Structure formats: structure tokens, C-alpha cells
Structure 1
Amino acid sequence: MLNGSPVVPFQPLHMQPDVSGRVLVLDSGVGGLSVQREIKRALPDAGLLYLADRAAFPYGDWEADALRDHIASLVSSVSDAWQPSAVVVACNTASTLVLQRLRKFLDVPVVGTVPAIKPAAQKTKSGVFAVLATPGTVKRDYTQDLIIDFAPEHHIALVGATGLAALAEDKLAGRAVDLDRLRHEIAPCFVEKSGKRTDCVVLGCTHYPFLQKEMEQVAPWPVTWIDPAPAIARRLTDVLKRERVAVGCEDLFFVTG
């Protein structure tokens, strides 16, 4: 077990479907297991199909148009074969690009993962918080629009970390986390502005919650770490058409590449 999630065996994607109606959860690696964990807590009987798109890891390194085309093609082919009851894009970078396109050709709910800027704006006491995400998520217009809509008066440090997803993959594979590298990656989150300092950090990548314990160890002062996964699970329960959901079946874990 790791932070409450089982370390699961992955299978190649060519396995033949046994039942339709599982919830498809997609990420470029194992980070989306943080979302899968919360979905399982909210919907313990629902069958899940987790897809780790390792062939394309990390999504944050892709150009926008190429990533949009890749994910749309992948989700289309998997959906044709497995007929999921919903699709959860468990990646901030991908969600800022592809949700609208997926909703155009899928007839099931599509739930995305976006930086938890609104919750951070509600929780912060100092008015200073950070969004820790991939460079791709940080630079997207979607993220800027969330700031304009929900936190226009706050001071926000947008931190595009380049190596945290790989550190999380290391941890989930049983390898040691490089704490010095982790400290360097998160250091820009911790700022002081007009005598006030960061009191919340948004975990803007689904890999990052798996590193929260280590981040707490190396952080220069205590902060509230905001994990969007519980909110994603709640949103899924709100939009899911329960009669289409496969229940009582085995959860499956696939990998590309």
C-alpha cells in the first residue's frame, strides 16, 4: 500500500473487454491513482479502468495541439472497445486542453482535473498562495482564466515544476525520493509579500499528492496542501448515470507502450 492506494499490476492495453460500463481514468503515468483512490472511496462498487499512458509520459512536455490529438485518439479507441460509463482525465495539463474536444464525440460524462484555485482563494488567510503544477499547466490560458475569475486580488506564485512527476513515479516504483531535488522544485512556492507569506499550496498535478509527506518534510514553513482529487470524485458522482455503471466487477489497470 502507498498512501492508501494499492500498488497494482498493470497490463498491456490489448486485453479483450469483459464488460462495459467501467469508469475510465486516464493519466500519463501513475499520478492519476491519487484520483482513482478518491473515486473508489466515493463509489466503492463501481468498476474502474485505469489507463497509464506511459508511452506519452510526461504530458507536460508535449506541444498543445499534438497532446490534444493524441489524447483524443487514445480515448476514442479505448472508449470504442470498452464502452465506459464516464471518462475522468486525471491530469491537469491534459484537462486544460482536451475536455471540450472529448465532450464533442463522447456520449458519457467527461470529468477533468483543473488547478484548485477557487478552493485556495477560499482557504487562504494571508491572500498569498502558490499553484504548484507542470510548466504546461502553468502557462495555459485556462489557468489564467481561473485566476481572473476566482482570485483576482490574491498574490499567486505560479510554479512550473519540471521534475516532480518523475519523483512521484520513483516513489510509487519503490525508489527513494531525492529530497534535495524536491526541496529545490518546491522552493519558489514559498514567498513573502508585504509581510505576508504563502499559506496554501495547490497541488496542480495528480502525481504530487503522493509526495505530500516528503514536501512537508522539506518545506520552509507549514502550509495547507490542496489536493483536488476529492472534489473530482464528488463531481463524478454528481454527473454519473448510475444505470450505465458496471458494478461488482474487477478494477483493471492498463499501460500503453
Structure 2
Amino acid sequence: MSAPILVFDSGIGGLTVLRELRTHMPDRKFVYVADDAGFPYGDWQEDRLRERIVSLFKDLVPHYAPQLAVIACNTASTLVLEDLRAAFDIPFVGTVPAIKPAAERTRSGLISVLATPGTVRRDYTRDLIGRFAGHCAVRLVGSSELARLTEQSILGGETSDDAIAAEIASCFVEEEGRRTDIVVLACTHYPLIANRFRQLAPWPVDWLDPAEAIARRARSLSPAADDMPEGFDQAHFTSGEASYAMRRLIRGFGLEFSSERD
């Protein structure tokens, strides 16, 4: 059996990327690692978070011996991707705001990037805007609550429409007869409730999910597997715990919870 592909996120958002990876690479095995003990990453000081993620990978890489790792998290990718590439001798595929394709598709020239505060304040994000969207008006919307609301909603908790609508409201801009026509989903949690975004939006927009582009890039770096995988892929949570609702969710994504890295 070929070495697995490791998919890493702060929580369940990376499941949206895992789903697309499986579509493009059905013959690969995957290990999904959720740093739920550190969730949400938006609450962390940058240097401490960088140290935490690199430290986690010092354990994960030798244990799972992955052929490559997908960092299915915008906050982690914009912060620590280069550190990981320097520290480990495997390919890393990151998740960064899909600003370039948004700039290529927009008709109105008004784009919003819906992200976490960490992704919004990164120079990396602003560099992408400068390189690829100089002809557009790009609004950066950093939500400190939306990732939490997403996990709460997906795991069966009550989340009001008003709470979600308040978090996405700033994405919608009207200016000189033009309206925002693309919202970049710059947190992998957000596609999990994109249908609610569509229902609550004041007008239709293209909600741009980067998962397909991530999957294509990962496939280009992954050698073909020798045979088709059997059974469930493995999910590891850094807390070592998972609620019944969480276990049901990850089972639906073809994952089997492991409290031990065995």
C-alpha cells in the first residue's frame, strides 16, 4: 500500500478539502489530523501558533510517513507553510485565499475575501491582492466567530440565521451601480455551510471554494497508488477525544476516529 496523504486542519473545515481530494485521487489512503486541542487558530499569537504546528509535525511526519501533506487551513498556510517545507523532506500543499481566480472571474470588479482575522492581517494575503487583483476593489472581511458557528452548526448545535448573516454582511458592497459578485471563502470551514450563506445573502454571488484547485495540485505531486485502498481512512484529533456527533460526522466522510496513533 502506498504511503498516505496527510490532511491537516485546526478542526473539521479540512473535511471539505478531503472530500475533493478523494474525488481526484480515489486510489489514495488519507490520514486526517484535526488540531482540535488548538482550535480556533484565530485566538493564537502568531509565534506560538507557528511553534505549535511545527512541533505537531515533528511527531506526525515520522509516525505516519506521508508521501505529502495538505495544510487544509488558510490561517496555518499563510503563517507556517514555508517553515514546514524547510523542516521536512516531503511536499506540502497549502491553502491560500483564491484571490487570483476571483480577480479573473469578476465582472463588477468588487471582490470580498471572507476569512479569519489571522488570514486577513497576513502580509501574504495582501501580497496576493497586489500581485493578482490590482485592478479590483478587494474587501477583506475577518470573522472571529464564523468558524466556531460553522462547527456548531455542522455538529447539530443551534446557530441562528441572524448570527451568520451578521458575520457575512460586510462582504456585500454596492458602489457606483456595481455590486460584489464574488466572495472568496478563505477558511476551509466555510464551504460546510455555504448553502446557508446563499440563503442569507442580500443578492446572489459566486462563493469561491479553493478545494478543487488544492486537490489538483496534490494529485500532481502524488504518485499513483499500487492498488485501491480498503476500509476507512484514519482521523486523529489532537485532544484525543471526539463527541458522538463528531464521530458520526467523520464516519460520514469515510474516516474512523483513532484516540491513539496506532
The answer, yes or no, to whether TM exceeds 0.5 is: yes
SS, match of residue 62 in structure 2: helix
Q: 1:134 to 1:53 in 2, by over 3 A?
A: same
Distance in 2 (alpha carbons) for counterparts of 1:105 and 1:232: 21
Distance in 2 (alpha carbons) for counterparts of 1:124 and 1:183: 23
> Pick from 196, 217, 229: which aligns with 2:178?
196
Structural RMSD (CA): 1.5
TM-score of the two chains, using structure 1 as the length reference:
0.89
Answering whether residue 236 of structure 2 is matched by residue 254 of structure 1, we say: yes
Q: State the AA in 1 paired with 2:78.
A: T
| Contact 1:109/1:240 (<8 A) preserved | no
Q: Which moved more, 1:45-54 or 1:166-175?
A: 166-175
Shift of 1:20: 7.1
> Pick from 207, 217, 223: which aligns with 2:189?
207
SS, match of residue 118 in structure 2: helix
Q: Report the counterpart of residue 84 of structure 1 in structure 2.
A: 66
Distance in 2 (alpha carbons) for counterparts of 1:169 and 1:26: 16
Q: Report the counterpart of residue 69 of structure 1 in structure 2.
A: 51
Answering whether residue 115 of structure 2 is matched by residue 133 of structure 1, we say: yes
Deviating runs (4+, > 6 A) in structure 1?
none
Q: 1:20 to 1:70 in 2, by over 3 A?
A: farther
Q: State the AA in 1 paired with 2:185.
A: L
Per-residue CA deviation, residues 181-218 of structure 1 (Å, 9 max, x unaligned), is 00000000001122211000000000000111000111
Distance in 2 (alpha carbons) for counterparts of 1:171 and 1:200: 24
Distance in 2 (alpha carbons) for counterparts of 1:247 and 1:70: 34
Q: 1:246 to 1:112 in 2, by over 3 A?
A: farther
SS, match of residue 134 in structure 2: coil
SS, match of residue 8 in structure 2: strand
| Contact 2:2/2:28 (<8 A) preserved | no
Q: State the AA in 2 paired with 1:226.
A: L
Shift of 1:247: 5.1
Q: 1:246 to 1:131 in 2, by over 3 A?
A: farther
> Pick from 11, 20, 37: which aligns with 2:19?
37
Answering whether residue 173 of structure 2 is matched by residue 172 of structure 1, we say: no
Per-residue CA deviation, residues 48-85 of structure 1 (Å, 9 max, x unaligned), is 00011100001122111111111011012111111011
| Contact 2:2/2:29 (<8 A) preserved | no
Q: 1:141 to 1:173 in 2, by over 3 A?
A: same
Distance in 1 (alpha carbons) for counterparts of 2:122 and 2:184: 16
Per-residue CA deviation, residues 127-146 of structure 1 (Å, 9 max, x unaligned), is 00100000000000000000
Q: State the AA in 2 paired with 1:248.
A: P
Count of aligned positions: 238
Identity within the alignment, %: 51
Q: State the AA in 2 paired with 1:174.
A: G
| Contact 1:22/1:246 (<8 A) preserved | no
Q: Report the counterpart of residue 251 of structure 2 in structure 1.
A: none
Q: Any unmatched runs of 5+ in structure 2? A: 240-262
| Contact 2:185/2:191 (<8 A) preserved | yes
Q: Give the number of the structure with larger relative contact order, counting CA–CA contacts within 8 Å between residues 6 or more apart.
A: 1
Distance in 2 (alpha carbons) for counterparts of 1:166 and 1:20: 35
Q: State the AA in 1 paired with 2:79.
A: L
Answering whether residue 248 of structure 2 is matched by residue 240 of structure 1, we say: no
